[in-house]
Structure formats: structure tokens, C-alpha cells
Amino acid sequence: MVLLDDLISGLGALLERRGEIEPRHIAGVACDSREVVPGSVFVAVRGFSTDGHGFIGRAIDAGAVAVVCETIPEVCRPSVCYLRVQDARKALAEVAGVFYGNASDKLMIVGVTGTNGKTTTSRLITSMLNASGIPAGYIGTGLCRIGKRDIPLERTTPESHDLHGLFRQMVDAGCKAAVMEVSSHALVLDRVHGLRFRAAVFTNLTPEHLDFHLNMEQYAEAKRQLFDRLDGEGFAVVNADDPQADFMTGTLSRDRLFCCTTAGHTSLCDPSMRFEAAISSMSVEGTRAEVTFRGRTMTMEVPLPGEYNVMNMLEAFAVGVGLGIDAATALRALSVADAVDGRMERIWSKDRSRCAVVDYAHTPDALRKALETLRAVTPAGAGLVVVFGCGGNRDRLKRPGMGLIAATLADRVILTSDNPRDENPEAILDEIEAGMAGCAHLRIADRAEAIRQAVEGLGKGDILLVAGKGHEQYQEVGGRKLHFSDRECLESCFEGAGFVTEAKERS
């Protein structure tokens, strides 16, 4: 149990305290008045659409005994303690850390940031740590995993008080490490304020979230913040093939920087800190690469196709070596790591003559890489088909570019809906079409119907990419989330077309 005075002492910049109450135990920390329970501390955070200061009264009515805010109300209730701070978001992280017993200090935290590849890389690292005798939890897209227990998440990186609550559960479950995806939003909005990372990983940087960051410079600066949060023994692992790698780690000494490359060269780090991978074979089943590091060469088996998946695994391997895990143990653990739903997830017909791939590719770079990868493994004489759309209320400027990528790299294109949200689905398709330079394609707003027609048109050897939603189990339309799974839809369509599917592939 935590006393209010303990939480107050944890505030880094307390400007004013008003109101006195008897020492008492605190029952919770919340920034949403609907989550307040009697005995809570309510932190009034200014959001983009709502301001928590407008809900202080509701929080007190729900039982809040203390309020952390940037502006104290004109009328204060005598039974409540008001604490004025300069930055409520930082304060939320500080009081949550104390409330949950500073559980993050008991964990070796690995953070992964970048535009694409965060989920795959983070899950690979988590599997590697667990298989190597370091119990680790995972926090990222869609879920938190602690042992065999999955906790659904709304955000890739939760709000700071929820994050510290998850750390507490990990420590109580015996975890020694936590691997987490760190989004640019989380860095800018101080959800990871106060955390210290043992390892920070940079996957890549391509245009995304420019409706939030406004330009690529701001987006890159947001990602860079992760590398300022390393602890005293911390190190960075970067995709040295990405043009932004030097910017991300420019302030780090080179003895704390591991560079990963599939291009065969990099001058960012000392040769002893370089990890190089050369692909020796690739199919839709997976990829084999030879990894050279510290004067050694070892074979890496990647159960996914594509150079970018080799990079994801190479970065995970570098993290393992940096943490002192035996190289052979790390590679063995990575080669049998659990698949990530919706990341190059393959669905085969029973006779394996036709393959559908579900992938979360929802940015221009991710779609291009997915199509280039599948093109490289499509059998001679067979075709590559893609079904995709673009989300509503997000990055409108990327839509024509994704249309051009699909038109250029696929043999057959079907445009469809992908979480249209509050936009007219047909208007979204209009903007995608604008970039397709008159290329022949089908336009079917109903996603289930689009997938059905794609499956029924598959010939032997053809590969179908269904891109954009990946692991998601819903279609968001007009403020409602309706159940929808690309995988489930594909399996049903395969059955309907007579292409009976085999058991779900887990490699």
C-alpha cells in the first residue's frame, strides 16, 4: 500500500500544494475520471480533444482524494489535496511509478522503435529471452504477454499509469525483462517518461503519422528520444542500412552501438560491433542467411521470407549478443520463435498449390517491401495478387503512392476498405486510384467480397497478399468496430472455392 505523501515525494516538479488531508493509503492512479475508484489520485492531463481539468469535479465525485493538475480550480473542495505541477503527463508517469512500487526498476527493459518491423522484432527478442532463461514479458501492438497470459491493449504503447501497472504484473509473475514497442506518440506524449532502457532498437524510418508529427524531421526527432533514455549499461542496435540510423544515435559513443546491415558495409560503428547478414536462399517458406560478427560466421534460419525480416532477426540477435546470451543459443531460439499473427502470415491450400499471405503492411514502404518480397518468391508463370486499402482519418497523402506501388508490383490489384472510420469508403478508393496511372484493377469496397473474388481467381502457384489489417480482428466503420478477420475470411473463401486450407502455419 502506498501513502499519498509517498506519491507526492515522487513528483519531480511540484509547484504548489493546496489542501490538507490525513495520511491515507491510495487505491489507484487514473487520468480518466471514469476509471477513478474511491481513494484514487486523479491526474488532469490536457489532451487533443478533451482537457482533464474539465473532469476534476467528476473525478472527486467518484472518490478521488487528490488531484494532480497544471491549473488548480478556482473553487477547491476542503477534503481534497490539490497538487499543481508544470507537466501533468510527466507527473502521471512519476506517481504511477511510485504507486506500482517502481517495478520498472526491477526489469531489464528493451525498447524497439521505428516505422515498420517493431512488432516482429520485439516478439523475436521476447521469445529469444524466454528460451535463453531470462523470463520476459512483451508490450506492443494489440497485447501485453506475460508468460502464457495475454492482456488486450488499445495502444501500441499504453499510457504511463497502465504501463507501470503492466510492469508490476510482470515482476509479480517472475519476469526479469520487458520488451516493448515504443511508438513515436508515446515518446512525444511522455508515456515512457522516467523509464531507463537496457537496449534500444531502431528498425527503420519511413513516412507515417505525418498528421500528428507534421513532417519527417519532427517524426525522426520523436523516435530519436528513445536513445536518450538508455541506462548506464545500455546500448543501441540500429538498422545501419536506413538513412536515418546515424541521426538516431548521433549522441551515443561507438562502444555502445551495434550496427546491423544486409548491404555488406557500414561506417557507423566499430567493426567489432557490426553484424552483417548475407541471404543465401529464400522462398515463401522462409530465408537462410549467413551472419558475420566479431570474426565469426553462423547460419541464421529465418522462418519468414524477405530481406526486411532478415534485418528484424539480425537486430534481435544483436540484442541477444549485447545482453550476453551465447550466440548459438540466441540463433537457435530465434529460429523457432512463435509467429506473429498478421505479419507475413501464410494460409495454404491443402495441396499447397495456392498461398495467401496476411500482412499488416499499411504504409507505402511496408506495402512495397511486402510485394517485392513476394514477387521474388512467386514461381515462374504464376501471378502475384494484392488486396489492400487505406485507413480513414489517417495520412491521406500516402493513398496515391500506395496505389502506384500496387499497380507497379502486382499482377492483379483489388482495392477495398481498410478501417474507413468516419470517411466515405468510396472517397478513399478515389484517392488511391488517383495514383494508379490508369492501371487495370478491381474496386470492391466490401472487404469480404474483395477477398472472395481474389481467392476465386487464384491459379496454381499464385500468391495473394491481403495487406493493411494484419492481426486486427475488426473493421472500424462510422465509430463502430465490427468483427472482421482477414485470416478467417480467407479460410472461409478458400473452403468456398474448393481450395481447402491446411492447419494454421505457425512458423
pLDDT band, residue 208 (cuts 50/70/90): low
pLDDT at 444 over 50: yes
The pLDDT tens digits for 40-49 are 999 999 988 8
Task: Report the percentage of the chain scoring pLDDT > 70.
Answer: 97
Would residue 506 count as lying in a domain? Answer: no
Same-domain status, 157 and 284: yes
What residues make up the domain containing 421?
Answer: 345-496
CA–CA gap between residue 224 and residue 212 (Å, rounded) = 16
Q: What is the pLDDT confidence band of residue 206, given thresholds at 50, 70 and 90? A: confident
Whether residues 206 and 324 fall in one domain: yes
For residues 107 and 94, membership in a common domain is answered with no
**Is residue 45 domain-shared with residue 117, that is, in the same domain?**
no
Nearest to 488 by CA among 445, 448, 437: 448
pLDDT in tens, 89-132: 999 999 999 999 999 999 999 999 998 899 999 999 999 999 99
Q: Return the CATH number at 383.
A: 3.90.190.20
Q: At residue 210, does pLDDT exceed 80? A: no
Residue 454 pLDDT exceeds 50: yes
Task: State the CATH number of the domain containing residue 272.
Answer: 3.40.1190.10
> Residue 411: which residues within 8 A CB-CB, separation 6 or more?
383, 384, 385
* pTM confidence score: 0.88
Q: Is 88 exposed, middle or buried (0-12, 13-18, 19+ CB in 10 A)?
A: buried
**Model confidence over 20-70: pLDDT tens digits?**
777 889 999 999 999 999 999 999 999 888 999 999 999 999 999 999 999
User: Does residue 505 sit within a domain?
Assistant: no
pLDDT, mean of residues 292-318: 95
The answer to whether residues 172 and 265 belong to one domain is yes
Are residues 9 and 107 located together in one domain of the fold?
Answer: no
Please compute the mean of the pLDDT values over residues 271-284 and round it to a whole number.
93
CATH number at residue 12: 3.40.1390.10
330 and 397 in a common domain = no
Residue 155 lies in a domain: yes
Q: Which residues contact 315 (CB under 8 A, 6 or more apart)?
A: 121, 201, 203, 237, 238, 239, 260
pLDDT band per the 50, 70, 90 thresholds, residue 350: confident
Residue 507 in domain = no
Number of domains in the chain: 3
Give 138-179 pLDDT, tens digit per residue: 999 989 999 999 999 988 999 999 999 999 999 999 999 999
Q: What is the DSSP string of 330-370?
A: HHHHHHTPPPPTTSSEEEEBTTSS-EEEEE---SHHHHHHH
**Using alpha carbons only, how large is the chain's radius of gyration in Å?**
24
Residue 329: other Cβ atoms inside 10 A? 14
Does any domain span residue 320? Answer: yes
Question: Looking at the structure, do residues 393 and 407 belong to the same domain, yes or no?
Answer: yes
Evaluate whether 405 touches 364 at the Cβ level (below 8 Å). yes
Given a contact cutoff of 8 angstroms between Cβ atoms, the answer to whether 202 and 168 are in contact is no
Is 26 part of any domain?
yes
**Average pLDDT value for the chain:** 93
What does the alpha-carbon distance between residue 490 and residue 488 come to, in Å, rounded to a whole number?
Answer: 5
Q: What is the pLDDT of residue 506?
A: 32
- Find out whether 86 and 71 touch, Cβ atoms under 8 Å: no
- Which of 310, 335, 360 is the endpoint of a domain? 335
Q: Is residue 502 one of the residues assigned to a domain? A: no
Q: 137 and 230: one domain?
A: yes
Q: What is the pLDDT of residue 281?
A: 95
The per-residue b/e assignment along 196-214, b for 16 or more CB within 10 angstroms, e otherwise, is ebbbbbbbbbbbbbbebbe
- Give the model confidence (pLDDT) of 385-412 as tens digits: 999 999 999 889 999 999 999 999 999 9
Per-residue pLDDT at 15: 93
Question: Quick check: is 503 in a domain?
Answer: no
Least Cα distance to 66 among 130, 136, 19, 10 occurs for: 19
Helix runs in 139-179, H state only = 160-172
Last residue of a domain, one of 77, 99, 121: 99
Whether residues 448 and 477 share a domain: the answer is: yes
Same domain, 359 and 331: no
What are the angstrom distances between the C-alpha of 290 and each of 44, 106, 143, 275, 279?
Answer: 53, 36, 33, 10, 6
Nearest to 327 by CA among 337, 335, 318: 318
Q: Are residues 68 and 128 in the same domain?
A: no
Q: How confident is the model at residue 252, as a pLDDT?
A: 87
pLDDT of residue 496: 83
Answer with the one of 335, 361, 380 that is the final residue of a domain. 335
